[in-house]
Each structure stands twice: as C-alpha cells, then as structure tokens.
Amino acid sequence: MEARKENQEERASGNLGKIQLHKKTVLIPEMNRAAALFFAATFRGFGVEARALETYKGLDLGKEYTSGKECYPCQVTLGDILYFVQKEKERLGRAFDPGQYVYFLPESDGPCRFGLYNRFQRIVLDSFPGLDRLKISSITTRDGYSFSGILEKEKVLDFQKSGYFAVVVADIMDRLLWRIRPYEEKQGTADEFIESSLRKLEKTFEEHGPSKDFGEILDDVVQIIEEGKALIDSKIPPKPLIGIVGEIFLRTHVQSNQDIIRQLEKYGAEVVNASVAEWANYVSYDGLRSAKAQVRLNFKQMRFSPMWSKLKEMLGFGIDLYYKEHRQNQVYNRIQPVIDLIGDHKISHLEEILEENDLFSFDVATEACLSIASIISCARAGYNGMVNVYPFTCMPSTTTSAVVKPLMSELGTPYLDAPYDSGIQPGREAAIRTFMYQAEQHFRRHGRMKRTHSR
Ligand code: SF4
C-alpha cells in the first residue's frame, strides 16, 4: 500500500499523474464528441485553456507505435495525441513548445489494461525528442476521479459537479440524436441539428459551468430538445428498439465502432446506447462498496484505526454517489416531459439483477458486471435486441458474451456480439442485417418497451 502511494507521488512529481493544469493547454481525447466538447468548455469556464483533440485521424500513427497487442482504444488515443503533436508542430514550427500542453487521460484501477494506457503512452511520448515535456495528467477511479491535485483547491468541488453535469447533458444530446434520426423527415437533418446544438451548448457550459448555474444550462437544453422534436416525422411508426452495452470507449466512439448505431438504423432500428454517466456512477458505487467491505473486515479484526479511515472513505463515496444520482434524475425529470427519451438505470438495481441467480459478481469489477446486468434488464423490459460492442480481445466484454449468450436464448431476445479493431470485417453488415431481421420478428410478436421506462 505504502509502496503504491510512493509510486503515485513519484509519478505525480514527474510527467505522469496528478499534474496541475494551471497555465497549460489541456488536450481532451474524444470518446464521445459531446462530452469532449462540453468538458473542454467547462475547463475553459474555470480558466483552464482546453481543447478537444481531433480523433481518429492519427490511427496510422497509433498503429505504428504499438505492437498490436494493446487494446484498440489505446491505439486510437495514442494516435490522437501523436497526430495533434504532428499538426501543431507544422502549424507553429519552431515556436512549438511541448511543455505548454497537458494531455488529459483518465485511468481505471482493477484487472483491466485501461490503467496502463497512460503509462504506455508516456513511454511512447518519451521516445520522441522533447515530448517528455508534454505531461500526461490523470484522474483515477481509486479516488472516484477526484480533481484534487489537478486544479486549484478552491475549484475542485465545483469543477467536479459541473464536469459531471456536462457528462449527463452529453448523454442527453446523444439520446436526442438516436431518438430523432430514425424518424427524421428529411435525411441528414438530425445530424446537422445536433452538431450545431453542441456548438451552442459549448458556449453555455463555458459561461454557466463555473457558477454551477445548471438551471440556465437546462433551459438551453430544453429549447434545443423542443427544436429537435420538430424534426420527427410523426407518420413514421415506432421501430424495433435495440440496446447497446459493452466497453465504454468502443461503444461510444463512433469512428472506432464504424458507426454501428447508424448501421443498425439503416436496417430499421431505433437504438439506445449505455450512457457515459453510467460509468461515472459505477465508479462511486464501487468505491462505496469496497470501502464498506473494508470497514466490515477491519471491524471483525478489531483494527479500529484503519476502520475509521475506511468509514471516512465510505462517507465520501456515498455522498458522491448520492449527488450524481440525484443530479442525473433531476436532468431526466426536467427533459422527459418535453420528449420521451429513455432514462438511465441505478447501479444498485444492476447489482440486484446479478445477485438474483448468482450470475456474476460486482466483486470482479470492470464493465462486465454492468453489461451483463444491463442486457438482462433491457431484455426483460422489452427491448427487441441487444448488441455488445467491444474492442477485439477485450477481457470484460468477452466475459459478458460468454455469460449472456445462453441467457439471451432463454429469454428469446436477439443478441449480437460486435468486436472491433481497425479492420473491416466482410461479414459484419450481413451479421447486422440478420440480427435486425430477428429483432423485427421479435418486435412483431412482442411489441416494444415504452420509452417512459428506464433502461
Ligand atoms: S475494458 Fe477491454 S479494452 Fe478496455 S482496457 Fe480492459 S481489456 Fe482493454
């Protein structure tokens, strides 16, 4: 434990870890476009120069500096930062100063390789002359993605609240797109409309994020939703409802998953992807859960000093989870009377589902526990098909696939595994088309879930 702490401190004082962003330009990798834009705008509102990185244009660079054994999101994000450096050097010439930038790359603790992306990318950046000065700043699941040590003390809490709000609103904007696009009167209008709305909301976040004026931000969101609703052609009947789960980067990053949502829509689906806020809520939930277990253990062993410290941790994670769920509900409660967007589930509900038949355990952590439970929850609620989207060889998603396949046959809900790397699989479109045929049959026989239901 002590050794790990020392390591963290060592890293923090170097060019990887909790690096202060003050007076630097922060580079935000894009996983979901809306969240990257809103997050960067929120940073700017708090006085930190920030910009979302262009994505996927540097994939060749990402592949050149990886061995092929790394997870696909690691290749994509590495490519994004290398591409940025290349372009910035071209733009600024000799004035390019790598020490002026901080690359923001969160990490996750646990059995997965996500915790190693930033270390690996550090090694790659260090191998280029001068790029050791381009620091990597990380927030980690270990402390519930706290920004302490990254921003000035007095800004930390406010930024965390505004940052989380940005993530929830980004989810809403994605859900709005998936709600409108399959029913748009004129093809292409939904995409255009959402892109221009994101740009509008960037300004809103920059202006109102620091004062946590969430009511003002929501007023703008509601106005956008009302305009977006007008693009729906009410004559188009409801379509089969397809749910997506899986590894967060792949299921969210449109370029990496070869725009699977659009592909499904092409064959007649209305799609709802798992939210990004789900992961943020899960991190707090998991922190609370582990702290509780430690409190119990220390109590049994009568180790009272560590027990108090774990109790404090438990309280911190508990408050954090309560805040997030409360804020998320508030946002959905405000927008659902305006448009019938499908809401989000509670993480505790997902754990209850797994416990019912001892299917899997939250003790294993990773996204498998979320995906397995979500698939079952959505299938029971009346989705017409479920898709598991993930990077080729992804450990948690392969586990998910193994556990849920037999269950989906029992439940009679069509299911598709969709693993991706940068290659084009010749049979992919046929698999999606066949899956959608099955989903259509399911829809005709059973109807579909009402949109007022949560995921
Ligand atoms: S979740 Fe999958 S893609 Fe992400 S680090 Fe783990 S194994 Fe890699």
The model's pLDDT over 17-32, given as tens digits with 9 standing for 90+, comes to 999 998 999 999 999 9
| Alpha carbon of 179 to ligand 1 centroid (Å) | 29
- In the prediction, which pLDDT does 107 show? 87
The answer on pLDDT for 375 being more than 70 is yes
Give the C-alpha separation, 386 to 383, whole Å.
7
Residue pLDDT, tens place only, 398-419: 999 999 999 999 999 999 999 9
Q: Give the pLDDT mean for 63-89.
A: 96
The answer on pLDDT for 5 being more than 60 is no
Candidates 116, 247, 398: which one to mutate for ligand 1, based on the most atoms within 8 Å of Cβ?
Answer: 247
The verdict on the CB of residue 167 being under 6 Å from ligand 1 is no
| Alpha carbon of 75 to ligand 1 centroid (Å) | 12
Sign of CA dihedral 306, 307, 312, 318: positive
Residue percentage of the chain with pLDDT more than 90: 90
Locus of tokens 């989903």: 439
The verdict on the CB of residue 395 being under 6 Å from ligand 1 is yes
- In the prediction, which pLDDT does 112 show? 76
The C-alpha angle with vertex 19 and arms to 17 and 22, in degrees rounded to 5, equals 165
DSSP H or E segment with residue 245: strand 241-246
In the DSSP assignment, the letter for residue 36 is H
Model confidence at 13, in pLDDT bands (50, 70, 90)? very low
Candidates 71, 117, 283: which one to mutate for ligand 1, based on the most atoms within 8 Å of Cβ?
Answer: 71
In the DSSP assignment, the letter for residue 184 is B
The verdict on the CB of residue 394 being under 6 Å from ligand 1 is yes
The verdict on the CB of residue 419 being under 6 Å from ligand 1 is no
The amino acid that residue 38 corresponds to is F
Model confidence at 132, in pLDDT bands (50, 70, 90)? very high
| Alpha carbon of 392 to ligand 1 centroid (Å) | 9
Q: Give the pLDDT mean for 340-357.
A: 95
Among 6-10, 37-41, 207-211, 446-450, name the one with the lowest average pLDDT.
Answer: 6-10
In the DSSP assignment, the letter for residue 53 is P
- In the prediction, which pLDDT does 111 show? 67
Full-model pTM: 0.94
Residue identifier of the C-alpha nearest atom 7 of ligand 1 = 394
- In the prediction, which pLDDT does 11 show? 47
The verdict on the CB of residue 71 being under 6 Å from ligand 1 is yes
Closest-CA residue to 27 (of 187, 165, 134, 126): 134
* Residues sharing a CB contact under 8 Å with residue 181, sequence separation 6 or more, in sequence order: 190, 191, 262, 265
Give the C-alpha separation, 396 to 265, whole Å.
26
- In the prediction, which pLDDT does 14 show? 81
Give the C-alpha separation, 284 to 278, whole Å.
10
Mean of all residue pLDDT scores within the chain: 94
Give the C-alpha separation, 408 to 430, whole Å.
20
Residue percentage of the chain with pLDDT more than 70: 96
| Alpha carbon of 130 to ligand 1 centroid (Å) | 30
Closest-CA residue to 224 (of 274, 173, 299): 173
Q: Give the pLDDT mean for 262-274.
A: 98
Give the C-alpha separation, 354 to 117, whole Å.
29
Give the C-alpha separation, 23 to 102, whole Å.
10
**Would you call 213 exposed, middle or buried from its count of C-beta atoms within 10 A (0-12, 13-18, 19+)?**
middle
